[in-house]
Amino acid sequence: MFSPSECLEFVDYSDKVRPMVIRTNTLKTRRKDLALALMKRGVSLDPLANWSKVGLKIMESPVPVGATPEYLSGHYMLQSAASMCPVLALSPQPKERVLDMSAAPGGKTSYIAQLMRNTGVIFANDLRADRQKATVANMHRLGVKNVIACIHDGRKLSKLFSQFKFDRILLDAPCSGLGVISRDPSVKVQRTIADVKKTAHLQKELLLAAIDVLNHKSKTGGYMVYSTCSISVAENEEVVNYALEKRDIKIVDTELDFGTPAFTRYQQKRFHPSISKTRRFYPHVHNMDGFYVAKIQKLSDKKKGESEEKKTETKKEGDEKQAIPKDNNDATKQKQTSGKKKKGKRKGGKEKDEAANPARVAKRIKVSVPPKKNTSNKKKKDKKQNAKMTKPRRQKVVE
């Protein structure tokens, strides 16, 4: 991934503390007015960058930035520069139906609501109830009115929203945090390869679930953004490449003017060429947290992996069905041949039949034959009489 010299540079910049960044809440104020209000309190600040119209970079502050009257009244949100990029790539439009699959504590959700001008509907989902409390509190403070907070396992949302699909989806997936070492130095020591593999498996499940609830027929949407705060290829390019193999999707341009193109080759692995449209961000190159952003467009509801499995199953069933009629045909042929053999003339021919059944002779010569008398009743009477006659008589006792 990096040369030895660049790797050392990455580690050095990851340990450095970068300036605090805030995002102006345009639902309540303008960036110009917010900057003037903070400067009156002695805060030294600058615009974040050319790509952001709402970001401010705090250089020095004599007061806690998270406790000013402007913060408490919801005029801004503490948010890193890198975490603004996925929302810009998603580009939500007013009156759309949007899902934020991993929303807590609500920084990206509130930015989406800001770009949608408080219209439409945003489902802010997260697995942890304690983190969702912060999401709800931030929505109230920032004056966001179009958010529904919910607590569900993101992997099961495809069943929950099977009849209710979304125009756009943001999945800022749980990750190893290898890009935010400056905020959590323990990552350098505690994270292992097993942790990366485990999170990568979870990310694949979440991404497929997100694609399944995305509405490809949406007139304004049909797009989703997958992002992580990690620089690991296993959590980024490999996950997106896996989704390309399992679902009918394509990678589209993020429309971000900065960032490094992602890998299409890494060691012995080869990825789809379109993955070069996704973007990577590094601390030592872009002076922000390590981040990855991919924008995906859904083309249809087809599931590539499942369709191939169904085809193989149907082929097997077809082969079995074709084999079964052949056996039945053989059996029927044997029955027919055996039936034909039985129909052949027996030894003795007509003479035996006529001797056994005189009615056939009568039909042949057209002579009426009297029916046989039923002698069964007479035989029964005779048997009874004989039984009476054979009974031993009692001897008279002479006194």
Domain boundaries, the chain: 4-16+81-303, 19-79
The model's pTM: 0.77
Q: Cβ(290)–Cβ(281) under 8 Å?
A: yes
Topology alike, domains 4-16+81-303 and 19-79? no
* Of residues 79, 75, 65, 72, the one with CA closest to residue 22: 79
CB 115 within 8 A of CB 92: yes
User: What does each C-alpha distance from 95 to 122, 221, 321, 339, 352 come to in angstroms?
Assistant: 10, 11, 53, 77, 97
Of the candidates 139, 149, 99, which has an alpha carbon nearest to the alpha carbon of residue 120? Answer: 99
Residue 169 to residue 162: CA distance in whole angstroms: 15
Question: What CATH number is given for 19-79 in this structure?
Answer: 3.30.70.1170
pLDDT reported for residue 40: 96
Q: Looking at residue 182, what is its pLDDT?
A: 84
Per-residue pLDDT for 399 more than 50?
Answer: no
- Condensed to tens digits (0 to 9), the pLDDT of residues 188-245 reads 888 899 999 999 999 999 999 999 999 999 998 899 999 999 999 999 999 999 999 9
Single out the residue of 186, 231, 181 nearest to residue 16, CA to CA: 181
The structure tokens listed for 154 are 């993101």
Res 358 pLDDT > 80: no
What gap in Å lies between CA 118 and CA 143, rounded to an integer? Answer: 9
Active centre residues (catalytic):
229
Using CA atoms, how far residue 52 sits from 21, 56, 75, 256, 287, in Å, is: 11, 9, 17, 11, 14
Confidence category of residue 77, pLDDT binned at 50, 70, 90: very high
DSSP H helical segments within 287-349, as ranges? 304-342
**Which residues 6+ apart lie within 8 Å of 316 measured at CB?**
none
- In the annotated binding site for S-adenosyl-L-methionine, the residues are 102-108, 126, 153, 172
In CATH terms, the superfamily for domain 4-16+81-303 is Vaccinia Virus protein VP39 (3.40.50.150)
Q: Say how far apart CA 376 and CA 373 lie, in whole Å.
A: 9
